[in-house]
Amino acid sequence: MHNPVLDAIAARRSIRAYAKEQITSEQLDAILAAGLAAPSARNTQPWHFTAVQDAALIARVNEAARAQILLTCPEDMRARIAAPDYSVFHGAPTVIFLSCPPPTQMRYAHTDTGMAIENMTLAAHSLGLGSVILGMPREAFAGPEADALRRALHFPEGYDFCLALAVGVPTAGKEAHPVEPDRVTILR
């Protein structure tokens, strides 16, 4: 069965190589609108999106994340993460930070925010852009700059980092990973 939504889901890839050119305002607006259209438990819409195109702010979050990651990462990752050109955002010119309340305050906020970011990545793909969903930037919010970064990124009071979406014009493609059909059970 083929339709545009199923085709987009099957064709989308996690892209980790981007051109320096910035995405357009129209593209960014469409991606954010797709996120806002996501379903949420009891329609709470618990997310907040902070779209960052300021290279200095992206670099600041990257450096804070790298510093924390280097404290605990396995030895086999250390050289790659310590390299001066390493970026948890893979050089994307736009990063959308998704924040939400902790599960102790809003039980399904992380699940709801996950649905929003999936809408965003599918929208980016449909616009000819690449994207990758990121959890690693969370480390920036576990270090000494955490509060300052929350303020710089305009997270609402009581909200914390949930996920990030790196977005840009892809410079490299990627083959699909094999699917695991044995991870599905159908009971009829």
- Residue 176 reports pLDDT greater than 90: no
Please tell me the class of the 13-172 domain: alpha beta
| pTM as predicted | 0.95
User: Residue 1: its pLDDT value, please?
Assistant: 79
Question: What string of DSSP letters covers 61-129?
Answer: HHHHHHHHHHHH--HHHHHHHHSTT--TTTT-SEEEEEEE--TTTSTTHHHHHHHHHHHHHHHHHHTT-
For residue range 66-112, list pLDDT tens digits in order: 999 999 999 999 999 999 999 999 999 999 999 999 999 999 999 99
Domain boundaries along the sequence of the chain:
13-172
Rounded-to-integer distance, Cα 136 and Cα 138, Å = 5
Dihedral over Cα of 155, 156, 162, 163: its sign: negative
